[in-house]
Amino acid sequence: MVWNSEETSSRSEMQGMQLAKWQKTVAYVYDKNPFYKQKLDAMGVKPGDIKSLDDVKRLPFTVKDDLRDNYPFNLFSADQEDVVEYHATSGTTGKPIVVGYTRKDIETWTEVMARCLTSAGVQKNDVLQNIYGYGLFTGGLGAHYGGVRVGASVIPISGGNTQKQIMLMQDFGSTALTVTPSFLMHIHEVGVGMGVDFKKLKLKTAVLGAEFWTEEMRGKIQENFGIKACDIYGLSEIIGPGVACECHEARNGLHINEDFFYPEIINPDTGEVLPIGAEGELVLSNIANEGQPLLRYRTRDITSLSLEPCACGRTLVKMQKLTGRTDDLLIIRGVNFFPSQVESIVIKHKDVTPNYLVVVERQGNLDEVEVKIEVIEQYVTKPVGDTFIESTRLSVSDELATREIVKSLTRDIKDVIGITVKVTLVPPGTIPRSEGKAKRFIDNRPK
């Protein structure tokens, strides 16, 4: 089932819609936004120059620093009185990135989220437990608007409150979940400790995103909960969640709502546009937005596009599951790797939990990588004579068995990533859990 007919347009119909929206958007930002007017003038491009989709290449890129430099509102094209909602990214350093939505943008967001949820199999008769955080983060309200639009019964519980999440799943008979994959794994961990069998609940579907997760993690989640798990992608700068989502039929790539969010793949080093199928940095333009339309925004997310026909009947271009972010790419002793690649290794290993943390330090002139991984309870030594034991005071036993685990993880990481890292086993529960996006990587190198 598709939510609306644009999702099955022919290629030429889609390109026609895209071109019309491009022309309107370029004229709009040129007229309304001094930043873009100046950029276009500097490049000698006038709105009337966009005569075909090929001309898009002539437009300037927008990067994260442009948003930071224009904090908070200078990249808005809409008048302040037409903005009806603000969101912002958490921003680990410095000022956050702010986005503003007009009434029409909220309508677009609601519509693309209704498409995404429908594509993931969520329908009118579903009870949708929305665990994405409500607030400045776009996850909560985005999924909320879409859930209400499809007619599901939305539970706006937001993130956190692990035990209450489990209670509502049981008592309200939730059938669909919108949540980050890492927090869903945490809910499972806590639930199992409470004796809950999630497979016996009414859960059917989970729409998971906002952070990197692997196919291996999908397998584990589907098995743990007895559900289908679909990947949903988006970013605040472009709309929030709703840029792209998998269909529950194929679950092998995310259909991009390309009549609203125009995708390109570029070589991140040269900016050259790459042909369909090639892997590179995803560039998105929100060609129907009013609040803050961004021309050719460099997402830093790495993926590739595909126009292969899909079992679900949608003709929307698909992006493959993300492989990483350009700014998380580590180059250690000449080898490129993304810290998130560790997930596929730890998840297959029966003696450890899927919780890991990659820490990079500079020692002398060399970068050293340590991967901390939680072992399962059985390898933990408890302090003698203690009745109340906090998990942080437990230590991992130094027996042959644990040394063998370290050896085999080190070998598997070397096979997949190509470098030798220091593997440290830590007691279960000691790597901080997140109620939203998980932090899997710490870079302690001097800036």
Are the C-beta atoms of residues 63 and 90 closer than 8 Å to each other? no
CB of 290 to ligand DLL, least distance (A): 19
Burial of 176 (0-12, 13-18, 19+ CB in 10 A): buried
* CA-based nearest residue to 146, from 110, 104, 199: 110
CB of 231 to ligand DLL, least distance (A): 5
Please say which residue, 203 or 235, places its beta carbon nearer to ligand DLL: 235
Residue type, 84: V
Binding flags for ligand DLL, 228-247, as an x/- string (CB under 6 A): ---xxxxxx---xx------
Please say which residue, 32 or 321, places its beta carbon nearer to ligand DLL: 321
- SS3 of the chain: helix, strand, coil, percent, to 5: 35, 25, 40
Q: Which long-range contacts (CB under 8 A, 24 or more apart) does 376-381 make?
A: 376/351, 376/352, 376/428, 377/428, 379/351, 379/405, 379/425, 380/427, 380/428
CB of 141 to ligand DLL, least distance (A): 10
CB of 119 to ligand DLL, least distance (A): 13
* CA-based nearest residue to 361, from 370, 373, 352, 353: 370
Are the C-beta atoms of residues 402 and 439 closer than 8 Å to each other? no
273 is written with which tokens? 């546009």
Helical residues (DSSP H) of 276-375, grouped into ranges: 342-346
With CB under 6 A as the contact rule, the residue among 55, 82, 85, 211 that binds ligand DLL is: 211
In the window 120-139, what residues touch ligand DLL (CB under 6 A)?
132, 138-139
CB of 212 to ligand DLL, least distance (A): 4
The number of residues that bind ligand DLL (CB under 6 A) is: 20
Please say which residue, 16 or 96, places its beta carbon nearer to ligand DLL: 96
Look up residue 133 and give its DSSP letter. P
CB of 234 to ligand DLL, least distance (A): 4
Helical residues (DSSP H) of 176-239, grouped into ranges: 181-193, 215-225
Q: Identify whether 427 is preceded by a cis peptide bond (ω within 30 of 0).
A: no
Candidates 188-196, 205-213, 330-338, 372-380; binding stretch for ligand DLL (CB under 6 A): 205-213
Q: What are phi and psi of 94, to 5 degrees?
A: 70, -155
CB of 441 to ligand DLL, least distance (A): 12
Please say which residue, 139 or 427, places its beta carbon nearer to ligand DLL: 139
Please say which residue, 28 or 281, places its beta carbon nearer to ligand DLL: 281
Quick check: 191 binds ligand DLL (CB under 6 A)? no
Q: Three-state SS for 217?
A: helix
Please say which residue, 138 or 174, places its beta carbon nearer to ligand DLL: 138
Please say which residue, 210 or 409, places its beta carbon nearer to ligand DLL: 210
CB of 227 to ligand DLL, least distance (A): 17
Strands annotated E in 98-257: 98-102, 127-130, 153-155, 176-179, 205-209, 228-235, 240-246, 254-256
Quick check: 280 binds ligand DLL (CB under 6 A)? no
CB of 337 to ligand DLL, least distance (A): 16
CA distance 207 to 228: 9
CB of 322 to ligand DLL, least distance (A): 4
Candidates 209-217, 261-269, 286-294, 412-420; binding stretch for ligand DLL (CB under 6 A): 209-217
Q: Three-state SS for 397?
A: coil
The b/e string for 306-324 (b: 16+ C-beta within 10 A; e otherwise) is eeeebebebbbbbbbbbeb
Binding flags for ligand DLL, 86-105, as an x/- string (CB under 6 A): ---x----------------
With CB under 6 A as the contact rule, the residue among 121, 146, 159, 209 that binds ligand DLL is: 209
Q: Three-state SS for 57?
A: helix
Please say which residue, 102 or 299, places its beta carbon nearer to ligand DLL: 299
Are the C-beta atoms of residues 257 and 108 closer than 8 Å to each other? no
CB of 18 to ligand DLL, least distance (A): 22
In the window 297-356, what residues touch ligand DLL (CB under 6 A)?
299, 301, 322, 325
Q: State the residue number with the nearest CB to ligand DLL.
A: 209
Please say which residue, 401 or 442, places its beta carbon nearer to ligand DLL: 442
Please say which residue, 139 or 191, places its beta carbon nearer to ligand DLL: 139
CB of 304 to ligand DLL, least distance (A): 14
- Residues forming the site for ligand DLL (CB under 6 A): 89, 132, 138-139, 209-212, 231-236, 240-241, 299, 301, 322, 325
